[in-house]
Structure formats: C-alpha cells, structure tokens
Chains A and B, each alone.
Chain A
Amino acid sequence: MNRITVETLLQDLASRGLNGEKISEQQIKVFASKDNFVNHLHYLQTIGFEHLANINGVDYIAENEFEVVYQVYSYEHKIHIVFKVRIPREKPVILTVVTLWEQAQFYEQEVHEFYGIYFEGNKDLSHLFLENWNDLPPLRKDFNTEEFSEKLFGSKRHGGGK
C-alpha cells in the first residue's frame, strides 16, 4: 500500500460522506454520525489504520451531547485520526467496536463507567475501577467532585483546596 497524505485521505473520506479537518501534517479529525460510524472505522481499518490507541468520551453539556472519540493511527501512512461521534445526552447509546478491535472492550468499559454511555453489543460493561459507586458517572460535567469529596472524605476539614 502506498503511503497516502493527509490531503488525499481527507478527500477519500469526503467522498464517503465523512467531514474532516486537518490538525497537522500527520493528524486529522473526522466527524461521523452514530448510525454508520462502525462501517467507516472498518473501512479505515482495511486501508491500514489498524492501531486503535484509545477511546474516550467528552461531555458537551451545553450542547446536550456526548462525544465518543476513537483515536486511530496507521503504521503505514503515519497519520493519526481523531474520529469523533456525537450521541444525544439523554439516550447515550452507541454501537460497540469490539468486533474490530479486541482491546476496545476495556476502553468501552471505561467510557461506560465514567460517562454512563452504553455500548450496544458489548457483553460486559461492569465497573473496572470504581467500587461501591452509586453516584453519577464521575466524568460527566454535572458531577461535582469537590462536593463529593467534601461530603465523603471531609476534604475541607483537612485543609484541602487552600
């Protein structure tokens, strides 16, 4: 496979209905809809983007949306793609990509734990990190960690935050 540049990649993706922006010579960001993003990721995988570095969520509370970001990289083309999918905040459900990348299992578990996003098709969404947790998923913007810490650990009492 020949090495492709950022520009040709963006054109290619545009022809498939994906909007993208260039961040740097080796990095682009791509916006996908939640309906067919798995197909796009699969396409990217077939053209050499085989390294899934991370999956993370972002809480755009003002727009009432979550964003799930897939960090994909190609060893051949040496291009990094920030692959962004938006989902509504009320019904945060998105398809899983475990079928494409095995390690996505754990990234998805993590995103589920910290944002409460459900991954359809992922069999195990149990908590990896938090034990005895009954509050909001902590990385949501409306979760106030300072107040939580004060209530559970008494952080102010011990002189925290001064």
Chain B
Amino acid sequence: MFNINSLEQQDNQDKLWDKVINYFRKRSLWMLHYCTGCGAMELPPVMTSRWDMERFGIGPMATPRQADILLITGYSSVRTMKRIIRTYEQMPEPKWVLAFGSCTVNGGMYWDSYNVINNLGEYIPVDITIAGCMPRPEAILDSMLKLMDMIQAGEAKAFRKYKENYAYYKANQDRLFMERGPVLESAALRYVHEETEGGEA
C-alpha cells in the first residue's frame, strides 16, 4: 500500500495517494537537532511554551533513525561535518535538511576560518536555509511551515538530489576527510622535537 518508490515515480503514479501521504508526512515532522553551533539557542523557545511547535506535530527526536528533518543549527567545523554526514546518511528516507543561519550559506562571519566549512550545500543537500545570525524563532517556525508546504506540493526532494549526484557530494566530502598532505606549502617548515619523538617514547 505504502510504497517508498511512489515518490520517485511520482509523475506516472496516482497523484491523489501521494497527496494523502504527503499530508501525513507534513503533519508529523520529527526533527533531529544537531546542535552544531550557536543557532541551536533559538530552538528551545520554538519548542517550548512561547512558540510551541508541537502544535504542528513537530517534535524533537533522539536519534537519526527516528527523525524526518535534520537541523544543522549554525556553522559546522570540519570535524562536525564528518559527523553531520554520518548522521544524515543514517536517516531513512524521506528526509529533509534545514540549515540555520548565515554560517551555513557562506561561512558567515567565519568565512576565513581554517576550521569552518563555508557552504553546507556542497556536502549534503539542503532543503531550506534560514538566513540571519541568529535566525529568530519566528523565522524558524516560518521555515518549518514553508517546508510543510513544500512537502505537500512534493517539492522537498533534496534527499533524492543526494542520491543522484552522490559522486559530486562524495568528492567534496573526501576533500575534507581523506588523508591529505598539507594544504598550504609553508607547512614543510614545521619543527619536529627530537627529544619527545625519540627519547621519551
């Protein structure tokens, strides 16, 4: 009855059934909030009494297996990126990614940092990016509602982009995580302390 493939062959399938399923999907969005950076700070107000996102059936979940949306709340360092990718790949489909704050678009104020990736979209597909540093609770809630509309209209399909263009994403990811030599040439100057290397070991 429920068939995941129906999403992929949507054009030549019965539209009504998808609409029904999409209704249930949009009304029950479970999110995994990966607290990558400071953007996570405005989530508690959205989740709790003042804005109360549970009204729309949105709730926090503990693990990627249970979640529908992955929230990347703020900048992500290289080290975090690795964990984000693992988390993203562990989520079952359909899954959506919400990126918070300017840092996820172009690095924001950390654009020239040696440890912060600049554009999240190069490494995993992002459905909605919320601008601002940090995005206000209203903006977060608005993006959720926007995502709901997109789901209902069948437009939120970035996760399929990831499958189709896996080589592209994988190449970008590998650039960060594969064993690599120094990025800058000057690294050859690095001092090696003989005594600690040889003597004490």
Contact = CB atoms under 8 A, between A and B. Distances in A.
Given A144-B184, A148-B184, A154-B118, 15 more contacts: A118-B196, A130-B115, A135-B114, A135-B183, A136-B184, A136-B189, A142-B186, A149-B114, A152-B176, A152-B183, A153-B116, A158-B106, A158-B107, A158-B118, A160-B106
Main secondary structure of the interface of B (DSSP, over half): loop
A138 interface: yes
A143 B189 CA distance: 11
Interface residues of A, number: 36
Contacts of B118: 149, 153-155, 157-158, 160
B151 interface: no
Nearest to A134: B182
20 contacts: A93-B193, A116-B191, A123-B200, A130-B115, A131-B78, A132-B180, A134-B182, A134-B187, A135-B114, A136-B184, A137-B190, A142-B186, A142-B189, A147-B184, A152-B176, A153-B116, A153-B117, A155-B118, A158-B119, A160-B118
Interface of B: 78-79, 82, 105-107, 111-119, 122, 175-177, 179-184, 186-187, 189-191, 193, 195-196, 200
A132 to B, nearest CB: 7
A125 interface: yes
A149 B112 contact: yes
Contacts of B183: 134-135, 148, 151-152
B186 A136 contact: yes
Nearest to A92: B191
A95 to B, nearest CB: 12
A125 B180 CA distance: 21
Interface string A88-101: 00111100000000
B196 A136 contact: no
B123 to A, nearest CB: 10
A152 B196 CA distance: 31
Nearest to A116: B191
B107 A149 contact: yes
B184 A151 contact: yes
A160 B112 contact: yes
A160 B112 CA distance: 7
Interface in A53-84: none
A158 B111 contact: yes
Contact of B190 (A116, A144, A161): A116
Nearest to A144: B184
A132 B105 contact: no
B193 A136 contact: no
A137 B117 CA distance: 18
B78 A145 contact: no
Contacts of B179: 132
